[in-house]
Amino acid sequence: MIQLKNWDNKTWLSSAAYINAFNSFLLKKKKLNKNSKILDIGCGRGKIIGSLSKKLKLSYKPIGIDPVKHKDIDKFVDFRNEDIFKFFKFNQDKFDLIMIKQTLHFFNKDKRKRLIEICKDKLKINGVLLILSLKTSNNEIPCFKLMKQKLNKGLKRDSIMLESTCKILKDFRIDKFQFKVSVTKKKYIKMLKQKYISCLINLNSNQIDKGIKEINYSYQKKINFNDILESIQFKRI
């Protein structure tokens, strides 16, 4: 799996406002209590489910899986730096909530199908699988020209991916999560240098530097936009 190291490293995605808004969204999708078991596939540093764990005073730490061995993991998360299929092979738990947030596109078509089928099987009765991905049309993420080309290519791929995911799930609900972002241009440029989003991973330093010049020219000191995720929800009956 491709490793995305900085998506939640001091970005709006790790801010208290974003985490609180997203957790409110989660709790509307699945009612949870202190005895709930949660699995987050592609958890990053675990800040989202860590905050939820603290809020709900969970008896069982939520399990977070990520291919990157982060050092600053949230203390309320049971973090696993391992392959998700290896995890499922040896873990017999059933979960109330399994979340795959902006991660599914890192798997190839066959592994995506396999992962979704396993997740469905690993849900408790009335358990929820929640899959989230960037909005695939009219996306507002601030981009320089090459970044936009890469992003659009990825969003086209994601649109096909989400369509095939719905066919696998068969019974599902579609929704969206929206968060208003206001970030300084200086901060956003730092995020670009850190390659905070997957469309930047394969760009070299010269391409990033050229893009930063475009961002400097195109945006004011503050950059405002909506970060919108498409959500697919499956509930095991």
Asked if residue 191 belongs to a domain, the reply is no
pLDDT at 1 over 70: no
Does the residue 51 lie in any domain? yes
Q: Retrieve residue 22's tokens.
A: 């997203």
For the cut 80, the answer to whether the pLDDT of residue 9 exceeds it is: no
Mean pLDDT of 125-137: 97
Q: Is residue 176 part of a domain?
A: yes
Residue pLDDT, tens place only, 178-225:
999 999 999 999 999 989 898 999 999 999 999 999 999 999 999 999
Residue 69 has a pLDDT of 87
- In terms of Cα–Cα distance, which of 83, 85, 51, 50 is closest to 69? 83
How far CA 147 is from CA of 9, 152, 163, 179, in Å, comes to 20, 9, 24, 21
Residue 82, Cα to own-chain centre: how many angstroms?
17
- What is the percentage of the chain residues whose pLDDT exceeds 70? 96
The SS3 of residue 9 is coil
What band does 7 get if pLDDT is binned at 50, 70 and 90? Answer: low
For the segment 9-23, the average pLDDT, to the nearest whole number, is 88
Number of domain units in the chain: 1
Contact present, 41 and 100 (Cβ < 8 Å): yes
b vs e for 124-137, b when ≥16 Cβ sit within 10 Å of the residue's Cβ?
A: eeebbbbbbbbbbe
DSSP code for 87: H
Domain membership of residue 1 (yes or no) is no
Domain annotation covers residue 210: no
Domain containing 112 equals 12-182+226-235
